[in-house]
Amino acid sequence: MELPVDFKQKYTELLGPVEAQQFFDGFDLEPRHGFRVNPLKDNHDYSAIVDMRSVAEHCEFGYFGKVDGKSVAHQGGLVYSQEPSAMYVGEVAHPNPGERVLDLCAAPGGKTTHLGSFMQNQGVLVANEINGKRASILAENVERFSLRNAVITNTTPEKIAQTFPEYFDKVLVDAPCSGEGMFRKDPAAMDYWSLDYPKQCADRQREILTEAVKVIKPGGQLIYSTCTFAPEEDEEIISWLIENFDFSIEPIKKYPGMDDGRPEWGNGDDGLKDCVRLFPYHFNGEGHFIAKLVKGKSEINNKLKPFWKNKHLTRPNKDELMLYKQFLNDNEIDVKFDDLVVYKNLLFASNDKLPDLSKVKVVRVGMPLGEFKKGRFEPSFALGLALTAAENHHQLTISHDQWAAYVHGDVLQLMNNMKRVGISWFVTTCQLDLENSLARQ
Ligand SMILES: C[S@@+](CC[C@H](N)C(=O)[O-])C[C@H]1O[C@@H](n2cnc3c(N)ncnc32)[C@H](O)[C@@H]1O
């Protein structure tokens, strides 16, 4: 691979000629593909897609191999395609069910879906993306993965900081960066690289992190990651964080092929070794850097105006609740969500521990359950996709070809007895929504 001359010179100086040559040779190795399976889906029979020898030992849900974006497994949210290094970020964050977690730079959703896998639909997962188009793609991926506790916002880190002061147990900043670690997979990334580019990216990273630190609870964690080798955006950023804020570095477990952070590339603090560097000439994945920091314990001082004070959101009224319950009864759906909230005529499963969200653009205030329309409740595709076999007593086993036709927009022919109990209407609704969501892609 033809690397920029300045890039080669920079890394020859940093690594020395021998290691630099190994580093450059790594760019000519074949990229390895990977994917994660979705533990929130109750179909755990992955035999058709997973080669059991291909387990990625560094990631609980991870495998080596390629997933076709048109496959049933992908479309149905059973798997998420993610390269092997990127899947270590979520693994390092490893949130617990019930925690409050923020993914600040979240689109297209690789890390969000991974964080949600650990949370088991319990707690709050706020996934924010500053770019509107990318926020819609994030919403689609979250929907496909059937995360029930994800709130999706499309705003700036500043507004997130104003809305959620000291609110989160864990915050992931998977920062926009110079992308040197992706040169191998996406050589076009080299076109906008220059010697100054990492410094420009580092300035933006400091701006983002200045806001991110405000939303972490005392004792909470900040997970910072990039897909670049540039010390300016990696060890230098972590050095800046520990010098300017009340943070300490937490050690990260290292699997074979994972390198220590390099203190000499930051402020010399030995703790920087506890960060992880993933170099393609050592580890079977793309270039990445990951750090885990813990915020010092001081008093929490956040009196938040509650969610319910937002005039755009209400709890469902008596009529709406009746329509929703009637829909569940008619279709023998046995599911319970703790907090229901109505925005305009849409019903969401949400979380009443959220603060007032009126200052941020909210894409989804939780999982969309459906819409109230002239005396009836019309379920969302997200609900249809998310229900487990135990929750939905009407199941229809269809073939791969039927599914492919359905995803294409063909009408799914149902057996007569299913029509009698009203499921055909539900499935037809799902199909229309699916067509819309495919059209948006
Ligand atoms: C590395 S990507 C995130 C990838 C994502 N975490 C995933 O795993 O799928 C960085 C994201 O940061 C967003 N971004 C760019 N500038 C930003 C800024 N100033 N503040 C916050 N996010 C920003 C980009 O739009 C991009 O989606």
Instruction: Express each pLDDT in 350-397 by its tens digit.
Output: 988 899 888 899 999 999 999 999 899 999 989 988 888 888 877 676
Task: Output the ligand 1 site: residues, CB below 6 A.
Answer: 105-111, 129-131, 134, 157, 174, 176, 204, 208
| Mutation pick for ligand 1 pocket among 105, 192, 288 (CB with most ligand atoms within 8 Å) | 105
pLDDT band at residue 406 under the 50/70/90 scheme: confident
Predicted local confidence at residue 45, as pLDDT: 63
Span between the terminal Cα atoms of the chain, in Å: 32
Query: From the CA of 392, how far away is ligand 1's center (Å)?
Result: 36
CA of 179 to the centre of ligand 1 (A): 12
From the number of C-beta atoms within 10 Å of its C-beta (0-12, 13-18, 19+), residue 267 rates as: middle
Answer yes or no: is 390 a known binding residue.
no
The pTM for the full model equals 0.92
Percent of the chain scored above 90 by pLDDT? 72
- ipTM of this predicted structure: 0.99
CATH 3.40.50.150 maps onto the chain at: 87-295
Sequence-distant (≥ 6) Cβ neighbours of residue 205 within 8 angstroms: 173, 175, 176, 177, 226, 233, 237
With a cut of 80, say whether residue 94 has pLDDT above it.
Answer: yes
Residue nearest to atom 2 of ligand 1 (CA): 176
Class of the domain covering 87-295: alpha beta
Break the chain down into helix, strand, coil percent, rounded to 5. Answer: 40, 20, 40
Which range of 285-294, 308-317, 390-399 scores highest in mean pLDDT? It is 285-294
Q: Which residue minimizes the CA distance to atom 14 of ligand 1?
A: 176
Cα separation, 60 vs 37, whole angstroms:
9
pLDDT digits (tens, 9 = 90+) for 275-289: 999 999 999 999 999
What is the set of active-site residues?
227
Per-residue pLDDT reduced to its tens digit, 230-250: 999 999 999 999 999 999 999
Centre of ligand 1 to C-alpha 16, Å, is 32
Structure tokens at 123: 């707690």
